[in-house]
Amino acid sequence: MPTYKSVTLIPARGGSKGIPKKNIIDVDGKPLLAYSIEASIKSNVDETWVSTDDEEIAKTAEEYGARVLKRPDRIARDNSTSESVLLHFAETITNFDILVFLQATCPFIESKDINESLNMIGKYDSVISVSKFDQFLWSGKDAMYDIDNRPRRQDIEQRYVETGSLFVTSKERLIESRNRISGKIGFVEVPKWRSIDIDTYEDLILARKVMSTKDRSNS
């Protein structure tokens, strides 16, 4: 049975307009970046990397056990895409087969999610994390459902939200498609409370409250 080398990449650039120093801001006693690093290290991946242009972030990443890849300025701008960072990694750190892409801003990712996704590669070409979505959508001021025949939630076809916390694909697929996901795509389903992606101060407040509640429930 063939063996594959899997690595995690966590992009974490220094510039952040919404929340200054967002990737290393304190969340329940630890820098935000630490949560995704720790989840990766506890999982079955072979190596955990952080791509950054920032010395303080690089130092934090190393303190929590990650290896660091210096990101060029040309892909560390506000308009730089995640794909450009993933491709830079694949072209620089070439010795791997499977890439696990984690977001530094998603502190509730767990090692079991990563392991589940790795087990799915082979059956699927790419795997993403999702949570169930059962709310009614409006586009502008127009309902995206028949307001005169409002369906019951249990009668709606099951829909999912991409959480943004976890993407897994092969190096070969990434380079060929230049996309984090391609081919046949599988889902790792996570509960809604673990789908928080910190982009605004409101997200940060919510994450801190969930974290403190989680801590108390485990004590």
Active site residues: 150
DSSP label at residue 77? S
Range list of H helices, 64-193? 82-92, 111-120, 171-177
Degrees, nearest 5: CA angle 84-46-105 = 50
Pair 123, 155: CB distance under 8 Å: no
Is residue 206 within 8 A of residue 196, CB to CB? The reply is yes
The DSSP output letter for 60 is H
